[in-house]
């Protein structure tokens, strides 16, 4: 009698055990798959973040000068070691278009070399695909290697290659170097003017040019201030909520300050 009562209980117990084992196996499989799903999502997220790193190119001034958006403000960058034809020269417009096609609206890396006397950052632009914009301009015949300011052997090699292949501006019989073009526009009376800057651009900042020989400029020493002023009575100086100080232009450039767009224009 006892045996007959025990048999149904054993059958019920075996079914319960089987169900519990099945549930345990199913739960274990789900746990083993979850880490794989997390790992596969990781790289995609990193790629999305990487695509937005660097500085966005917001303007192309000419072939060798661009503006980047840095900390919400435009930063003008003069490309190191290269010199593109001026806008009134042959290939001037094409050089600007070439730079625009490669860089405008894209996020790029900036390798800073210096800050020139006009407050421009001088450096190299690394494109999203890893190419060097400075190199690409020379390689494709849209710029000279600017040997007066650069001894870069790679730029020298790229220019020799472009000349030999008659790429871009080198297809002409005797292209005029942009620094010679700028000097010819100035005339004999201004031989000491910087040949790195077009006369029209230089005329746009005469006060800064006049101070380049050790003159004083005015700065606001607030934490967020990144400019310098050539006029102590500039209304923007009056808005300074911290100490106003007088320093040399060289010091201001060393601090990577840019000219005030009100009093230095």
210 and 239: one domain? Answer: yes
User: Three-class SS string for the chain?
Assistant: CHHHHHHHHHHHHHHHHHHHHHHHHHHHHHHHHHHHHHHHHHHHHHHHHHHCCCEEEEEEEECCEEEEEECCEEEEEEECCEECCCCCCCCHHHHHHHHHHHHCCCEEEEEEEEECCCCCEEEEEECCCCCEHHHHHHHCCCCEECCCCCCCHHHHHHHHHHHHHCCHHHHCCCCCCHHHHHHHHHCHHHCCCCCCCCHHHHHCCHHHHHCCCCCEEEEECCCCCCEEECCCCCCCHHHCCCCEEEEEHHHHHHCCCEECCCCCC
pTM score above 0.85: no
Residue 24 is assigned to a structural domain of this protein? no
Active site residue 78: yes
Identify the pLDDT of residue 193: 45
168 and 241: one domain? Answer: no
pLDDT tops 90 at residue 56: yes
178 and 229: one domain? Answer: no
Active-site residue, from 67, 86, 136, 159: 86
pLDDT band at 126 (very low <50, low <70, confident <90, very high): very high
Active-site residue, from 34, 52, 67, 78: 78
Mean pLDDT value of segment 160-177: 95
212 and 150: one domain? Answer: no
Identify the pLDDT of residue 110: 96
Provide the CATH number for the domain around residue 141. 2.40.50.90
Q: How many domains does the chain have?
A: 2
Residue 252 is assigned to a structural domain of this protein? yes
178 and 231: one domain? Answer: no
Identify the pLDDT of residue 178: 95
Active-site residue, from 67, 96, 120, 202: 120
Domain span at residue 245 reads: 205-259
């Amino acid at each position: 009698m006892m045996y007959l009562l025990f048999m149904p209980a054993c059958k019920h117990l075996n079914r319960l055990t089987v169900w519990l084992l099945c549930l345990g196996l199913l739960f274990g499989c789900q746990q083993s798959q979850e880490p794989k799903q997390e790992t596969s999502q990781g790289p995609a997220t990193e790629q999305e973040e990487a695509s937005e790193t660097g500085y966005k190119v917001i303007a192309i001034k000419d072939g060798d000068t661009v503006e980047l958006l840095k900390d919400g403000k435009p930063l003008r960058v003069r490309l190191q070691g290269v010199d593109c034809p001026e806008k009134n020269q042959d290939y001037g417009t094409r050089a600007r278009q070439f730079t625009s096609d490669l860089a405008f609206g894209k996020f790029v890396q900036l390798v800073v070399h210096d800050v020139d006397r006009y407050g421009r950052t001088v450096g190299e632009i690394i494109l999203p695909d890893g190419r060097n914009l400075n190199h690409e301009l020379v390689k494709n015949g849209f710029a000279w290697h600017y040997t007066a300011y650069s001894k870069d052997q790679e730029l020298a090699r790229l220019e020799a290659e472009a000349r030999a292949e008659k790429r871009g501006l080198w297809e002409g019989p005797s292209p005029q170097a942009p620094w010679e073009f700028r000097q010819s526009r100035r005339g004999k009376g201004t031989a000491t003017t910087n040949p790195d800057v077009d006369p029209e651009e230089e005329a746009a900042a005469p006060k800064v040019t006049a101070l380049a020989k050790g003159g004083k400029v005015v700065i606001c020493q607030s934490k967020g201030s990144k400019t310098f002023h050539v006029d102590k009575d500039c209304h923007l100086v009056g808005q300074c909520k911290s100490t106003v100080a007088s320093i040399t232009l060289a010091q201001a450039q060393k601090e990577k300050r840019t000219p005030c767009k009100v009093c230095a224009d």
